[in-house]
Amino acid sequence: MNLCGHSTSEVTPADRAVLAHLAQDGRASHQALVTALKTSASTVKRRIDQLTGLGLLSFRCNCARPLGGWPVAATFWARAAPADLPDLGHALIRLAQTRNSAAISGPNNLILQANLHSVTDVLRFETHLAASHPTLDIVERVITMRHEKLLGRLLDHHGRTIGTVPPDTWAEPRGELRPDVYHAARLLDRW
Which pLDDT tens digit goes with each residue over 95-154?
999 999 999 999 999 999 999 999 999 999 999 999 999 999 999 999 999 999 888 889
Phi, psi torsion values for 89, nearest 5 degrees: -60, -45
- Angstrom CA distances, 161 to 72, 133, 137, 153, stand at 17, 36, 35, 6
- Which architecture characterizes domain 8-53 according to CATH? Orthogonal Bundle (1.10)
pLDDT per residue as tens digits for the range 5-40:
445 457 888 898 898 899 888 889 999 999 999 999
C-alpha–C-alpha distance, residues 115 and 110, integer Å: 17
- Angstrom CA distances, 100 to 13, 15, 76, 91, 144, stand at 30, 27, 10, 12, 15
Residues of the chain with CATH 1.10.10.10: 8-53
Q: 72-144 has which fold?
A: Alpha-Beta Plaits (3.30.70)
Contact 77, 101 (CB under 8 A): no
pLDDT per residue as tens digits for the range 79-112:
999 999 999 999 999 999 999 999 999 999 999 9
If residue 138 lies in a helix (H) or strand (E), which one and from where to where? strand 137-144
178 — pLDDT class (breaks 50, 70, 90): low
- Angstrom CA distances, 103 to 35, 60, 110, 134, 180, stand at 41, 21, 4, 17, 15
C-alpha–C-alpha distance, residues 117 and 36, integer Å: 40
C-alpha–C-alpha distance, residues 161 and 176, integer Å: 29
168 — pLDDT class (breaks 50, 70, 90): confident
- For residue 95, the 8-state DSSP code is S
Angle between helices 30-37 and 13-24 (to 10 degrees): 120
Residues of the chain with CATH 3.30.70.920: 72-144
Looking at 66-75, 108-117, 170-179, which range is the least confident one?
A: 170-179
C-alpha–C-alpha distance, residues 115 and 73, integer Å: 5
Per-residue confidence (pLDDT) for residue 11, from 0 to 100: 83
pTM, two decimal places: 0.69
C-alpha–C-alpha distance, residues 142 and 167, integer Å: 23
C-alpha–C-alpha distance, residues 94 and 82, integer Å: 20
